[in-house]
Chains A and B, each alone.
Chain A
Amino acid sequence: MGFLLGFAATLLAVVLIVQIIRVFELTSKLSGNDQSKVSFKDNRTRAFSWLLFMIWYFALFIWVVQKWGPLVLPEAASVHGETIDFLFNLNWVIILIAFIITHLVLITFILRYYARPGSKAEFITHNNKLEMIWTVVPAAVLAVIIIYGLKTWDEYNGDVAGDAINIELYAKQFDWTARFAGDDDQLGKANFNFINTSNPLGLVTEQTIKIRIQELNDQIAELKEELNHVPKDGLKESQKLAAIHHKETQLSKIHAFRRNNELAKNAAKDDKLVKVEFHIPVGRQVNFSMRSQDVIHSAFMPHFRAQMNCVPGMVTRMRFTPTITTAEMRRKTGNPEFDYLLLCNKVCGAAHYNMQMNVIVDTPEDYAKWLAEQTTFNAKLMATLGLSETDNQLAQNIQ
């Protein structure tokens, strides 16, 4: 269907161009070929074609507003978002006024001053007073926008509330993980050297330290064994040596964690990792910290007017206080399927277009209930390894 449509459109366009060119060849033969002059008749036609264009342009604008205006973002669902929306509307008013006035002036001058028999231009070079006015007026309007804009920006970047919920958003190609603090109300340490299949966020706990040490020791031993079977002084040998060096460096970093982070190392144990969908309570500030595993991503939650890049090698932050629950928003938008979205808004690779997560805004009670149902990181880890949480077989293996 699409193909046929495209084909038909192309065919039509080609026919159109051929026709235009034929008309052109005929007229250029007839019109005496002076292409440096514009006849008064043509000049008039062209001036009035601008009028038609302006009508079309404004009509298109109105049509687009009517047709797709209702599909733009619904009202902001966060405290600071309301201020942003107000600023947005203020800007729109100014923009529309400037847009309409300048275009009306443009079409007026075109229709009033197109060359016609006997018409002459007036020699006007400048007018200091006028120029002063149209420098000062935009400056004054901009001053208002700037002052109000900076105030709003400050509000968005305001302080963390005392009772804020700390959530980590972890981005990788091509999905999100949200990490909630456990009963200790603390997000445990994480480091990329700890990442493996059982620990995709690289959380640092007693167990993950041991697992990684064991894993790396095994890999180093394996590489050293392989080293015996490759020819000496060759490329293969230097590759193996580099790989061993790389693993040993990682190992020493992990040992450093073991030595330096005795206090923090278990804070991650009761953290809760969720995918696909996460919940937050209405009316309480959510303080997001963000990390990325591989490339730059951007955590964009349009309905909350919130966005921040996730940059490998650093932790970025943003926070907002949701004001409308998902259930309420579904009523307001009349869409029973409505969900708040977290989407990736910095190109991150092939599946960038489908890196999303749903956000559910709950009542505080529902949120507490949902959070209590989530399993902790450590419980999941032990389950993956086929161990019970109290088992210390792992510890013995590593000694």
Chain B
Amino acid sequence: MSNTAHAADHHAEDHHQETFISKYVFSQDHKMIAKQFLVTGMFMATIGMLMSTLFRIQLAWPGEGFAVLNFFLGDKWAPEGVMDPNMYLALGTIHGTIMVFFLLTAGLSGTFANLLIPYQIGARDMASGFMNMLSYWLFAASSVIMVLSLFVETGPASAGWTVYPPLSALPQAMPGSGLGMTLWLVSMTLFIASSMIGGLNYIVTIVNLRTSGMSMTRLPLTIWALLVTAILGLLSFPVLLSAALLLLFDRSFGTSFYLSDIFIAGEALDYNGGSPILFEHLFWFLGHPEVYIILLPALGLTSEIIATNARKPIFGYKAMIGSILAIAFLSFIVWGHHMFLTGMDPFLGSVFTFTTLLIAIPSAVKVFNYLTTLYKANIRFTPAMMFSLGMVSTFISGGLTGIILADAALDITVHDTYFVVAHFHIVMGFSAVNAMFAGVYHWFPKMYGRMMNQKLGIIHFWATLISGYGVFLPMHFLGLAGVPRRYYTNSEFPLFDSFIDMNVLMTVFAIIAALAQFIFFFNFFYSMKRGPVAPQNPWRSNTLEWTTPVEHIHGNWPGDLPVVHRWPYDYSKPGKAEDFVPQIVPLEEGEVDGEH
């Protein structure tokens, strides 16, 4: 005990020595790093969102001139306002990269792992403040390089966010595979380093720094999700790193890991014996767990928010942990479902069909548990709760179409069509974005000590949910008509051209969705400065972060660390005066803790 008291004193001293640089720039405090991740993620997402708006304009009105395209893309890439096909591919590529990695991996995990892990387990900070700072600054550097790659003469990487070689390996194949692709690889290498350093830190912190009484079965589901996510990242990101390095070697040093028998630009190339399929295996060995690196934190955040606002324990706490673990394990043995049609052995395809469809079981369990949590609840519709319920809807709507894509036989028809685009945007993109907004609305008081405006939050929610479905629900039908993704225009096929009015509809919804985010930005930045000051526990929640003072202090708790006596879901427990019992309240005589 005296040690912790000493540590607290020590931290209090530190507090006085802080300069602007050490507090706001090279901060080692988890709360500041969380905010840095969030704001950087929001900045990157704005670029990604703008890009999607630009290519949606091209899809709705192919070949027409738009001043706005010329304004953003310049005379080189949008002469007279008509988008260049290479730029179309580049925008899709960078939009995907930014949304998947910079927003939904770093922005989501980086923000909430940093904010919530020390807070919710009762730790003064992350295990290594320095590594945590390093993780953010590597991410910042990788963001800067990714943004810089947009301005190189030959354009940014354009081979799709999956950057399959040989297209991504040979500058002769497309201009974006020149310097832009090199910068993409450098940026991603830094990104992976950032993710791994961060992930290692999260795991060590959760395993070692839980406060007294915080057993693994008393952890909030957010922490379980973030722990398993960090383990997934640590096991799969190194494989992407090797994939990226080998691609860099093929591009720059003439090795033949991925390339063989290529004749391009009037010349037979020297590459011999490599296989592009090797890259696909390595890429998707990360790529599929990556989907869950995005989704698990989203599921963790919504579990916590739904329980808090339903004023009811999350239904089947242990089943929720079990399904997180099951999803995580299965996510490592399903990557081949992205590659059914690469010419791999059909038997292997059968195996991947089997394992992929198995994931539907723990996912279904999660959905049923969410729904049952609402049964006989006392639901309070805060903006965070609205977004969480939106996430339940999108997770169902998008998840169900996964059953079709998981089936090798059905994948033949819908592989690489807009059906896939619709599926993963709803189940992964839209769900995770919903959860991220839910998290921001819910924990904003903890981050900035002020409240966000609820009414604007609700308007933002409905605008986002409706326009999101407005874009992606019709899109399934494009896929079912066989329209491939990554087409600059569908107008070259009379068969697909009849969908032009659908493309207009989707673009209008996409523009509304993009504009709706400015309501959020306004609410976010306005409330940060001028929002009403937050009470200590605004949502009457059980978890430890709400026992810390509203004003951020180094070391989180002014005195001793809190001691935990119960699981985090004692909402509406019979015989209690209030409808919540914080984790720090000791058990009464004869009171049973946890699920019973």
Contacts and interface: CB of A to CB of B under 8 A. Distances in A.
Interface of A: 1-3, 6, 9-10, 13-14, 16-17, 20-21, 23-24, 27-28, 33-36, 38, 42-43, 46-47, 49-50, 53, 56-57, 60-61, 64, 68-69, 71-73, 83-84, 87-88, 91, 94-95, 98-99, 102-103, 105-106, 109-110, 113-115, 119-127, 130-131, 134-135, 138-139, 142, 145-146, 149-150, 152-157, 173, 191-193, 195, 202, 246, 249-250, 293-296, 298, 300, 302-303, 305-309, 311-314, 316-317, 337-338, 341, 343-354, 356
Nearest to B494: A337
Interface residues of B, number: 145
B532 A312 contact: no
A339 B522 CA distance: 52
Given A71-B499, A313-B260, A121 B459 contact: no
Interface in B70-106: 81, 85-86, 89
Interface stretch (B119-127, B133-141, B202-210, B409-417): B409-417
B41 to A, nearest CB: 22
B378 A10 contact: no
Contacts of B319: 126, 131
A98 B495 contact: no
Nearest to B402: A95
Contacts of B403: 91, 94-95, 142, 145
Given A53-B462, A71-B481, A296-B167, A349 B511 contact: no
A288 B164 CA distance: 24
B375 A109 contact: yes
Given A296-B164, A311-B342, A313-B260, A20 B410 contact: no
B456 interface: yes
A106 B392 contact: yes
B488 interface: yes
Q: Which of B312, B407, B462, B522: most chain A Cβ within 10 A?
A: B407
What are the nearest 10 A-B pairs in CB distance? A302-B482, A313-B260, A36-B538, A35-B451, A316-B343, A46-B381, A152-B409, A109-B374, A121-B378, A353-B487
Contact of B407 (A56, A98, A145, A302): A145
B492 A135 contact: no
A72 B480 contact: yes
Contacts of B144: none
Contact of B416 (A139, A306, A346, A356): A346
B57 interface: yes
Interface in B322-362: 341-343, 346, 349-350, 353-354, 357-358, 360-361
Contacts of B213: none
Given A36-B538, A72-B477, A250-B268, A134 B365 contact: yes
A126 B263 CA distance: 62
Given A150-B408, A156-B409, A250-B268, 13 more contacts: A24-B453, A33-B532, A38-B382, A47-B379, A64-B473, A102-B367, A109-B374, A113-B376, A114-B379, A120-B572, A293-B263, A308-B343, A314-B275
B412 A307 contact: yes
B249 to A, nearest CB: 17
Contact of B488 (A88, A134, A311, A353): A353
Nearest to B343: A316
Interface residues of chain A: helix, strand, loop or mixed (majority): helix
Contacts of A202: 263
Given A9-B508, A347-B160, A53 B465 contact: yes
A91 B377 contact: no
Contacts of B357: 142, 145-146, 149
A293 B346 CA distance: 24
Contact of A95 (B378, B386, B404, B535): B404
A144 to B, nearest CB: 11
A349 B66 contact: no
B264 A294 contact: yes
Interface in B449-496: 451-456, 458-459, 462, 465-466, 469-470, 473-474, 477, 480-482, 484, 486-490, 492-495
A154 B351 CA distance: 12
A132 to B, nearest CB: 10
A343 B492 CA distance: 11
A260 to B, nearest CB: 17
A33 B240 CA distance: 48
Contact of A350 (B89, B268, B381): B89
A35 B473 contact: no
A99 B481 contact: no
Given A68-B474, A356-B492, A60 B469 contact: yes
A102 B394 CA distance: 11
A236 to B, nearest CB: 19
B350 A294 contact: no
Given A35-B454, A113-B379, A150-B353, A3 B67 contact: yes
A309 to B, nearest CB: 5
A105 B371 contact: yes
Nearest to A102: B396
A56 B159 CA distance: 37
A84 B407 CA distance: 10
A307 B413 contact: yes
Interface stretch (B108-116, B231-239, B512-520): B512-520
B519 A17 contact: yes
B50 interface: no
Interface in B530-562: 531-532, 534-535, 538-539
A13 B512 CA distance: 7
8 contacts: A43-B380, A57-B469, A95-B403, A95-B404, A157-B349, A313-B273, A337-B494, A346-B164
A203 to B, nearest CB: 13
Given A110-B379, A123-B574, A311-B277, A302 B445 contact: no
Contacts of B261: 191-192, 312-313
A275 to B, nearest CB: 16
A126 B494 contact: no
Nearest to B413: A305
A191 B466 CA distance: 54
Nearest to B567: A125
B393 interface: yes
A286 to B, nearest CB: 15
Given A120-B579, A122-B376, A353-B487, A313 B396 contact: no
Nearest to A197: B266
B129 interface: no
B166 interface: yes
Given A125-B595, A142-B358, A348 B167 contact: yes
A57 B61 CA distance: 26
B466 A56 contact: yes
Contacts of B212: none
A190 B57 CA distance: 43
B582 to A, nearest CB: 16
B312 A121 contact: yes
Contact of A353 (B167, B489, B495): B489
Contacts of B401: 95
Nearest to B166: A295
Contacts of A28: 453, 455
A157 B343 CA distance: 11
B131 interface: no
A347 B275 contact: no
Interface string B250-281: 00000000011111100010100111110000
A296 B86 contact: no
Contacts of B456: 20-21, 24
Interface in B556-595: 569, 571-574, 579, 594-595
Given A150-B350, A316-B343, A125 B596 contact: yes
Contacts of B494: 337
Contacts of A33: 532
Q: Which of A34, A57, A113, A149: most chain B Cβ within 10 A?
A: A149
Contacts of B489: 353
B259 to A, nearest CB: 7
Nearest to B482: A302
